[in-house]
Amino acid sequence: MSSSNKKRYCISCGSLKTSLLKGKYERWYRRNNRDYICHKCRLRLFDHPKWNPIYASRKIVFKGKAILLKHTAKRGICSICNKGIGDEYINKEKKRAKIRRTSMHHVEYIDDNPLAYTIELCNSCHTKEHWKLKKEASNICNI
């Protein structure tokens, strides 16, 4: 039996199926020249930062582009509320929730140094900062 007739399976999840590209072509990704992983596992293991903690701590978005840093920029502690990953806070529904991740927020953009003028914020504080910026922008437009 030739290698093209062999059934592919994902070495991560064991699935015999993967997603289709343009409805026709199966999306298999080769690992180690003979093993394959499905598209879903590739997203989970390599592409999506939530599932890849090694790269997630080194990845930032700068002017709409993802940049992988040489070192870890995040500490896991919010610069505004000083709460860390795993700490509890009260969410907008007035319920207790845990901080699951932090994000880097650019106060000002400098092309030569993507980390200049950045602060680490929990998702709650990050959302509040963006609302403040939108409110300030609308006040400037109304003057």
pLDDT tens across the length of the chain (143 residues): 444 547 888 888 888 888 888 888 888 888 777 888 888 888 877 776 555 555 666 777 788 777 777 777 778 889 999 998 888 888 888 888 888 888 888 888 888 888 888 899 988 899 889 888 888 877 777 66
C-alpha dist (Å) from residue 67 to 31, 49, 71, 137 = 24, 12, 12, 27
Q: Read off the pTM.
A: 0.55
Instruction: Return the HEC string of 112-141.
Output: CCCCCCEEEEEHHHHHHHHHHHHHHHHHHH
Domain coordinates of the chain in residue numbers?
71-142
**What average pLDDT does the structure give for the chain?**
81
Burial grade of 70 (CB within 10 A; 0-12, 13-18, 19 or more): exposed
State how far the Cα of 50 lies from the Cα of 72, in Å rounded to an integer.
Answer: 15
Specify whether the CB–CB gap between 25 and 35 falls below 8 A.
no
Give the model's pLDDT for residue 75. Answer: 82
Instruction: Give the β-pairing of 59-62 and 65-68.
Output: antiparallel
Share above pLDDT 70 across residues of the chain, in percent, rounded to a whole number: 86
How many Å apart are CA 82 and CA 92, to the nearest integer?
18
